[in-house]
Structure 1
Amino acid sequence: MLFVNLESFDSQDYARLQEAVTFLKTTDLTTTPLGRSHQDGERFYMQTLEYDTEPIENFDFEIHHHRLDLHYIVSGEERIDVAPNTNYVALNPCNTDRDLQYVQRPAVFNQVLLHQDDFVLIGMHEPHRTNGVISTPTHVRKVVLKLGR
């Protein structure tokens, strides 16, 4: 499943998806170290995260200007909200070191419920917030592949 808004879709942004899926299938993600790893210059890196989910309203929407986010659930489950409309209102300047900018809550967004072995690919400039509880708080192990061009 690929869910995007046609106006913001750039097929070049998704050219590296097959490489990312191959990485997910051939890497033991239960043993990767927490934090950033598997860096390949500006093209690619992985963040391994572990946390307990919380009410999604506790989190702000964010965007990235230079990388796609592929969120893959190794264990647990979480809700992610994503707005395919890239017309956002910035709340702060972009943190260029982290390629991270917080934005106002979009008027319209979609709820994506991810369970073990599910992933969602979030495009550049697409507002999203993560770590949301689905029914009861759950411990999550997740990897986020940061895909540059």
Structure 2
Amino acid sequence: MILDKIQNASLYINLHKGITKALEYIENTNFSTLENGKHIIDGDDVFAIVKEYQTKKIDENILEAHLKYIDVHYIIEGKEQIGITMFNNQKPTELYDEDNDFMLFNKPSDYITLHKGMFAVFFLMIFICQKLR
């Protein structure tokens, strides 16, 4: 996992071409002009999903993990609390859905907080997101 401010994105551009494209997109996009939904960056390989949603209580959320895609989260407004845990062969509560690239789990072990202008890169980790007011 990587956690940093978007101003430091240049430190990570050589890790993976998809991460480079995602971070460049974040740096060069005015998100206030984008509608919610999926935005193609590089075909099926790299895309952005812009979401706006209602806050849930942390215990109402579930953890998710991806096997196909690396997940890059960027906070446009406010702050968001994310529950995380390392993947250690836990049994999922919902088995892996290959078409939608996710599986679901319970109980995070740690929480991190992302503030406006921060990003996180999740490789194979289990995480949930909780928007903070």
Question: What is the TM-score with the length of structure 2 in the denominator?
Answer: 0.79
In structure 1, what is the equivalent of residue 105 of structure 2? Answer: 103
1:127 is the counterpart of 2:126: yes
Q: Aligned runs of 1:1-149 on 2, under 5 Å?
A: 2=2, 14-16=15-17, 17-106=19-108, 109-124=109-124, 126-133=125-132, 138=133
Distance (whole Å) between structure 2 residues aligned to residue 90 and residue 54 of structure 1: 21
Identity of aligned residues (%): 22
Structure 1: which 5+ runs fail to align?
A: 4-13, 139-149
Q: RMSD of the alignment, in Å?
A: 2.0
Deviation at 1:72, TM superposition (A): 0.4
Q: Structure 1: which amino acid aligns with 2:95?
A: P
Question: What is the TM-score with the length of structure 1 in the denominator?
Answer: 0.72
Distance (whole Å) between structure 2 residues aligned to residue 62 and residue 131 of structure 1: 13
Note if contact 2:83-2:129 (Cα within 8 Å) is conserved in structure 1: yes
Change (3 A) 1:25 1:42: same
Higher helix share: 2
SS at match of 2:117: coil
Deviation at 1:39, TM superposition (A): 4.6
Runs of 4+ with deviation above 3 angstroms: none
Q: Structure 2: which amino acid aligns with 1:127?
A: I
- What is the aligned length? 121
Structure 2: which 5+ runs fail to align?
A: 4-14
Note if contact 2:71-2:123 (Cα within 8 Å) is conserved in structure 1: yes
Higher relative contact order (CA 8 A, sep 6+): 1
Note if contact 1:55-1:132 (Cα within 8 Å) is conserved in structure 2: no
Q: Structure 1: which amino acid aligns with 2:129?
A: T
Q: Structure 1: which amino acid aligns with 2:93?
A: L
Deviation at 1:87, TM superposition (A): 2.5
